[in-house]
Amino acid sequence: MANTPLRVICVEDEPEMIDLVQLILSRKGFEVIGARGGMEGLQAIERLQPDLVLLDLMMPDMDGWEVYQRIKANALINKIPVIIVTAKAQSIDRMLGLHIAKVDDYITKPFGPTELLNSVEKILAR
């Protein structure tokens, strides 16, 4: 890995989940920035242009799918990989995410540290 840590923005309305992601990924040298909710997340992504976005789907102000569509519609940030991290664990949601919306990966909560790390490392290795 380069000297500059890879930057990950975690868009999530639960502060405990942001803390958990920061704990898991910072141990591996990632810089993790938490954004509380969709609007804040989208602004942070546009401003910071991270290497990766972890995106929750169910948030009060703007849901994850809308954030995702806005990322993909913006030429400055539409190449940033997005991993959906959500409690929506039904296979139909996963299928919609991976095959219809073409997100880079789809992790369901609760997840283990290894699952998160494997996904992040796999996507960033592309």
Is 82 within 8 Å of 68 (Cβ atoms)? yes
Instruction: Answer yes or no: CATH 3.40.50.2300 is held by domain 8-125.
Output: yes
pLDDT score at 92? 83
Please determine, for residue 126, whether its predicted confidence score (pLDDT) is greater than 90. no
Q: Is the Cα torsion angle 46, 32, 78, 69 positive or negative in sign?
A: negative
* β-strand partners of 115: none
Please determine, for residue 1, whether its predicted confidence score (pLDDT) is greater than 80. no
- For residue 117, what are its two tokens? 């790390």
Give residue-wise pLDDT tens across range 51-96. 999 999 999 899 999 999 999 999 999 999 999 999 877 888 888 8
Q: Domains of the chain: which residue ranges? A: 8-125
Coil, helix or strand at residue 55: strand
Cα separation, 33 vs 22, in Å, equals 8
pLDDT score at 85? 95
Q: What is the mean pLDDT of residues 10-35?
A: 97
pLDDT score at 97? 84
pLDDT score at 65? 94
Residues 6+ apart with CB under 8 A from 66: 38
Please determine, for residue 2, whether its predicted confidence score (pLDDT) is greater than 60. no
Q: Percent of the chain beyond pLDDT 90?
A: 83
Q: What is the mean pLDDT of residues 20-49?
A: 98
Pairing of strands 31-35, 52-55: unpaired
How does the average pLDDT of the chain come out, rounded?
Answer: 94
